[in-house]
């Protein structure tokens, strides 16, 4: 691999994985989606473009691939149940098991509500909640900034 690819991978893997996890709610699926995004990047001409364009391309590929994975699942309820079961209790620092369970249930409810939104709205919310600026969201989803 090229030095450029290695640099992009190190700089963007966490971001790509995080986006995939927010859509999919499953660590294994998110890792697969991130791996697929970087596999596509390895042979893509976009790697020669400025960092901002590469980042937008990676976000777009990751979100599209993640939504394709969601569509491939049989029922949204299975996804919510799996996410709730896999939410590690250890991630809730300083909290007892009851608080961890409540947090997991709340996250499952949010995922269920997101699953009911149209794909583009879901992607917009996930990107905004992840801290992206409106211009970055518009570039990632290839829409006008006013549509964000």
| Alpha-carbon span 78 to 131, nearest angstrom | 28
| Alpha-carbon span 65 to 33, nearest angstrom | 7
In the chain, where are the structural domains located? 3-72+117-147
Per-residue pLDDT at 2 exceeds 70:
yes
Is residue 89 very low, low, confident or very high in pLDDT (cuts 50, 70, 90)? very low
Quote the pLDDT of residue 93: 55
Question: Which residue pairs from 90-95 have beta carbons closer than 8 angstroms and sit at least 24 positions apart in sequence?
Answer: none
Quote the pLDDT of residue 79: 47
């Amino acid at each position: 691999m090229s030095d450029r690819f290695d640099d992009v991978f190190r700089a963007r893997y966490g971001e790509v994985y995080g986006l995939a996890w927010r859509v999919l709610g499953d660590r294994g699926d998110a890792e697969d989606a991130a791996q697929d995004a970087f596999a596509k990047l390895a042979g893509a001409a976009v790697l020669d473009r400025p960092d901002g364009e590469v980042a937008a391309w990676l976000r777009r590929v990751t979100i599209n691939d993640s939504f394709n994975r969601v569509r491939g699942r049989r029922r949204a309820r299975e996804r919510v149940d799996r996410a709730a079961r896999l939410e590690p209790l250890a991630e809730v620092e300083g909290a007892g098991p009851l608080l961890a369970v409540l947090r997991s249930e709340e996250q499952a409810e949010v995922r269920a509500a997101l699953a009911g939104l149209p794909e583009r709205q879901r992607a917009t919310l996930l990107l905004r909640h992840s801290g992206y600026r409106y211009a970055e969201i518009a570039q990632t989803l290839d829409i006008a900034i006013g549509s964000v």
